Amino acid sequence: MPELPEVEVVRLGLAPAVTGALVTAVDVLDERALTRHDRAAGDFAARLVGRRMSEPRRRGKFLWIPLDGPEALLAHLGMTGQLLLREAWARPESERHVRVRLELRHPQLNELAVFFVDQRTFGSLAVDGLVETGAGDAVPAQAAHIARDAMDPLFDDAAFAAKLAKKSSGIKRVLLDQTVISGVGNIYADESLWAVRLHPEQAASSLGTRTKNRLLAEIRLVLAKALAEGGTSFDSQYVNVNGQAGYFAHSLNAYGQDGKPCARCGTPIVRVSFMNRSSHFCRRCQRVR
């Protein structure tokens, strides 16, 4: 599933094309792409056509484009969702798995199209109301429960440390809890824990102040590196708005490296089952203490 760097890459790619653009037409080709949309509040296409878009925003894995009025076009990419920029004349049948097509008119770029492509239909679009967070910003109601991410200027380091102190669960499980810290998924949790030499099952409450500070610093460093390299792509399921893959996969030290020697000590990286997915770590460098 796309994590913070991948969603941020998509946001950055969309911003120049959609900021200030007017929605002129919406073609819903597959209703399964609207599972998050509240149909009782109005038809998806009808609530978008004629609306002007503002600069896209993101919290964790949620991406949204504010509209004129207290609403936003919300996107959750799920496992395989993609938002692709296309020429205005591009038709859905020119690509596979196009679920929704938006036509936009931009003040400088003129007409263009945005395709929502989703091979496995786990992602979704919705028109959602914006709610105030109390910090001067507004987020879609469906994302209001999501914590800020470590790259957010308003992220509270002390509050994060305090939450860890109250959690007896393994540190990786806590990092994946989007109400504690958002945007960190399986890949970047494994990478951050490897960097700090923490075992995924080390109790979060057992971490000292220095270790918690180092962990947060490494989370930020890993996310920043992944963002600089366009995110992590193992196949064509994650691409940016132009259909290009990220290349952070070449920089991974733990995730997906099972059987390969640890870059630090040479011990083979292991892969174990974890919450219907996998954890990757070095048995020598990352021991439970």
Q: What is the mean pLDDT of residues 218-236?
A: 80
Q: Which amino acid is at 170?
A: G
- pLDDT score recorded for residue 251: 86
When pLDDT is cut at 50, 70 and 90, the band that residue 233 belongs to is: low
When pLDDT is cut at 50, 70 and 90, the band that residue 231 belongs to is: confident
- pLDDT score recorded for residue 238: 56
pLDDT digits (tens, 9 = 90+) for 112-122: 999 999 988 89
- pLDDT score recorded for residue 137: 85
Q: Which amino acid is at 197?
A: R
When pLDDT is cut at 50, 70 and 90, the band that residue 130 belongs to is: very high
% of the chain residues with pLDDT over 90: 75
Coil, strand or helix at 201: coil
- pLDDT score recorded for residue 242: 67
Tell me how far apart the alpha carbons of residues 149 and 96 are, in angstroms, rounded to a whole number.
Answer: 33
**222 closest CA partner among 187, 258, 172, 264:** 187
pLDDT digits (tens, 9 = 90+) for 50-61: 999 999 999 888
Q: What is the mean pLDDT of residues 162-176?
A: 97
Residue-range domains of the chain with CATH: 4-143 (3.20.190.10), 157-282 (1.10.8.50)
- pLDDT score recorded for residue 253: 95
Which residue of the set 2, 56, 66, 92 is catalytic?
Answer: 2
More confident of the two residues 235 and 111: 111
Task: Give kind and range of the element (H or E) at residue 130.
Answer: strand 124-132
Task: Assess whether 2 carries a catalytic annotation.
Answer: yes
Task: Give kind and range of the element (H or E) at residue 128.
Answer: strand 124-132
**28 closest CA partner among 46, 2, 40:** 46
Quote the distance between the C-alpha of residue 126 and its chain's center. 16
Q: Provide the mean pLDDT of the chain.
A: 92
Q: 72 pLDDT exceeds 80?
A: yes
Give Cβ neighbours of residue 217 (< 8 Å, ≥ 6 apart).
Answer: none
Query: What 8-state DSSP symbol labels residue 30?
Result: -
Query: What region, left, alpha or beta, does residue 49 occupy, with left being phi > 0 and alpha being psi -120 to 50 degrees?
Result: beta
Q: 20 pLDDT exceeds 80?
A: yes
Q: What is the mean pLDDT of residues 133-155?
A: 90
Assigned token pair, 24: 């002129």
Which residue of the set 11, 59, 61, 148 is catalytic?
Answer: 61
When pLDDT is cut at 50, 70 and 90, the band that residue 191 belongs to is: very high
Which residue of the set 91, 277, 284, 289 is catalytic?
Answer: 277
Task: Assess whether 70 carries a catalytic annotation.
Answer: no
Q: Which amino acid is at 273?
A: S
Q: What is the mean pLDDT of residues 26-37?
A: 96
* CA atoms lying within 13 Å on the CB side of residue 157: 13
Quote the distance between the C-alpha of residue 248 and its chain's center. 15
Q: What is the mean pLDDT of residues 35-60?
A: 95
H-state helical runs in 22-170:
44-48, 157-165
Which residue of the set 3, 6, 71, 218 is catalytic?
Answer: 3
Task: Assess whether 277 carries a catalytic annotation.
Answer: yes
% of the chain residues with pLDDT over 70: 94
More confident of the two residues 83 and 4: 83
pLDDT digits (tens, 9 = 90+) for 235-277: 455 566 666 666 577 889 999 999 999 999 999 999 999 988 8
When pLDDT is cut at 50, 70 and 90, the band that residue 229 belongs to is: confident
Q: Which amino acid is at 145?
A: H
Task: Assess whether 225 carries a catalytic annotation.
Answer: no
**3 closest CA partner among 78, 86, 109:** 78
